Chain A
Amino acid sequence: MTRLFLALAVLFLTPHSAFAAGFDEMINTATAPIASAIGTFVFFKITVFGAQLPLVVLWLVIGAVFFTFRMGFVNIWGFKHAIELVRGDYANPDDAGEVSHFQALATAVSGTVGIGNIGGVAVAVTVGGPGATFWLIMAGFLGMSTKFVECTLGVKYRNENPDGSVSGGPMYYLSKGFSERGMAGFGKFIGTFYAIGIFIGALGIGNMFQSNQAYVQLNNVTGGMFDGLGWLVGLAMAAVVFAVIVGGIKSIARVTEKIVPFMAIFYCVFALIVIFMNSAAIPEAVSNVFTGAFTGEGVAGGALGALIIGFQRAVFSNEAGIGSASIAHAAVRTNEPVTEGMVSLLEPFIDTIVICTITAMVIGTTAVAYPGFAGDATGIAMTSAAFKTQISWFPIPLAIAGMLFAFSTMISWSYYGLKGWTYLFGESDKGQTIYKLIFCAFVALGCMVQLGPILDISDALVFLICVPNILGLYILAPIVKKELDTYMSKVNSGEIKKFKKA
């Protein structure tokens, strides 16, 4: 703690480019081995069919498949009901003024749609080839079921605090749910493990990765104007995040939350335009996806390699299996936990099946039409280059959109991480401020480190929390299935009715 403050103080006192570059290097060299060690531990690999399969990815894949079957393919038939719920067809007028399904969905999506939808996908395609796109979509599709289970449990086992606020999430459903099943001690341990995991993990996926890629694109777009000034951009971003989460200047967050959906639509519209401008390349790009998915030519580990990276980046993007969305959904004041599970089905759909796929197709069709378009660029720089081939000015709005996506994700994840922290250390204001300061520090840090170590450490931390979470989902799945069946019979019998507008 002291070292961190000391480091920050030194940073503030000597804003010197050469020192900062040295500082960057220092951080880089310090984090790389740690990232590597955590990564090796979490991503313990076994060799299957010539591919290096991380056990944790296997854990996720099996989980998603299992939940899809166990919940009777709710990710297919539940879709329509989810839309009806979000539209307000089942909204009781007496509940007006409480958190609506739409609001919970919008908040959760705002948190998940981050810079991974733009940059992470590029990484997937670089490492896993075009076939990774297919597995990305599969992961999104199957992940809908995982999200369903998580968010149903999140609502079912939340804490309603005396001041009227709500606290929910995996740490609660793991500890409470397990104790219901007679495993109280284990549940408490797992809940605590998860809480630690998420408040640390928030610093990666919801923080450093976002600020890093936002900075990279900003630098890219301004022609390298911010080269070596990562610390400056980082501090500026940290200051804004600070203003919102510590200073309580909600107006900034409110504006961002409102703009993000429009930026997402704007991004998708232009991505579709680029795809259609490359329409001649679409058939080949699509066939590349399928051949890559099943033969994986030229990809390390073949088709399995494509699958692994597709799943990894999809989970990173839509957070299915991480349990974070259940924290947002727990706030909805409903008597039917299943309704939130249903609504959350839409998140991996929107995030991965729609937005990530669109990004992948932009890159895919550009790769066919303009081979070598990206040069050495990876991550968001590659996506930017793809857009640039058709719309030369697009990298600029992309930088703005990226910044906003990153920012809204950081705000959401600061909240998720905070919930993990308060689960462990209580709701004291001082404690919360400490975590928020740590969070802001990492926002700045993210801009000073290279993408490589950040991705490694973010991946490792995030997947670490998937392990206890999915274990919990397996054990609590029968409870969810029972809730689902009860709920659906109520809906079909008309006990849960639609409220038709006059």
Chain B
Amino acid sequence: MTGNFVVAVDGSPGSERALKIAIDLAKPANVALTLVHIIEWSPFSFHTPDELAERHGRREEELDRAKEVVLGPAEAAVKAAGLNCESVVRHGHPAESVIEIAVGSGASQIFIGRKGQSKMGSLLFGSVAGSLVQVSSVPVTVVP
């Protein structure tokens, strides 16, 4: 009996395709899906005092927006296919956080789109999918 599938979603066409493939593969064995959205954040960044004071409020906004815009539609798609679904949104390093969640929930596979919504920097310095493939202890399926 396979453990759940973790799908990294960010609302991009790439992640939608990854979700579709995960659903198709999960259906026959009725595997549960864990939808994960990571808001890129590092504790080691530099800010103005203004930004620090506003941070808590903005964090709440970011979490709400993620749940509504990204996870909501994805969850609906999974439920429509008749599968069990759990959603997680977290701040942190995208690749590391996905792996942490996957390992923590005993996932048997991670699904991720090859190209996401990530910023120009990721294009230059490597994508989340690329990092995941290199560091993950859980099998990763990269969907082009």
Contacts and interface: CB of A to CB of B under 8 A. Distances in A.
Contacts of A254: 46-48
Contacts of A165: 53-54, 56-57
A318 B54 CA distance: 25
B86 interface: no
B6 to A, nearest CB: 15
A98 B54 CA distance: 10
A88 B58 CA distance: 21
A97 B53 contact: no
Contacts of B85: none
B41 A258 contact: no
B91 A258 contact: no
**Chain B interface main SS type:** helix
A10 B104 CA distance: 67
B45 A103 contact: yes
B49 A331 contact: yes
Nearest to A325: B49
Interface stretch (B17-25, B59-67, B74-82, B108-116): B59-67
**Chain A interface main SS type:** helix
Contacts of B103: 502
A97 B41 contact: yes
Contact of A97 (B51, B54, B62, B104): B62
Interface in A101-120: 101-104, 106-107, 110-111
B49 A327 contact: yes
Nearest to B54: A165
A98 B56 contact: yes
Contacts of A97: 39, 41, 59, 62-63, 90-92
A164 B48 contact: no
B26 to A, nearest CB: 25
B44 interface: yes
A100 B43 contact: yes
B43 A111 contact: no
A411 interface: yes
B100 to A, nearest CB: 6
A163 interface: yes
B27 interface: no
A164 B53 CA distance: 9
Contacts of A183: none
Given A91-B43, A97-B39, A97-B91, A328 B49 contact: yes
- B45, B54, B56, B90: which has the most chain A beta carbons within 10 Å? B56
A328 B47 CA distance: 10
B48 A107 contact: yes
B55 A331 contact: yes
Interface string B77-108: 00000000000001110000000100110000
Size class of the A contact interface (CB-based, 8 Å): 35 or more
A333 B63 CA distance: 16
Contacts of B48: 107, 250, 253-254, 257, 411-412, 415
A396 B92 CA distance: 39
Contacts of B56: 98-99, 164-166, 331, 333
Contacts of B29: none
A416 interface: yes
A107 B91 contact: no
A358 to B, nearest CB: 22
Contacts of A102: 43-44
B49 A250 contact: no
B43 A103 contact: yes
Contact of B50 (A103, A163, A415, A502): A415
B46 A110 contact: yes
B45 A164 contact: no
A96 B60 contact: no
Interface in A72-104: 88, 91, 93, 96-104
A261 interface: yes
Nearest to B45: A103
Nearest to B93: A96
A352 interface: no
- B41, B48, B49: which has the most chain A beta carbons within 10 Å? B49
B49 A96 contact: no
B43 A257 contact: no
Contacts of A104: 52
Contacts of B58: 164
B46 A99 contact: no
Nearest to B48: A253
B52 A164 contact: no
A167 interface: yes
A331 B92 contact: no
13 contacts: A96-B90, A97-B41, A97-B62, A98-B59, A99-B56, A103-B52, A107-B49, A250-B51, A257-B47, A331-B56, A412-B49, A502-B100, A502-B104
Given A250-B50, A411-B48, A415-B48, 7 more contacts: A88-B43, A97-B62, A103-B43, A164-B56, A165-B56, A253-B48, A502-B103
Interface of B: 39, 41, 43-60, 62-63, 90-92, 100, 103-104
Interface of A: 88, 91, 93, 96-104, 106-107, 110-111, 163-167, 250, 253-254, 257-258, 260-261, 327-328, 330-333, 411-412, 415-416, 502
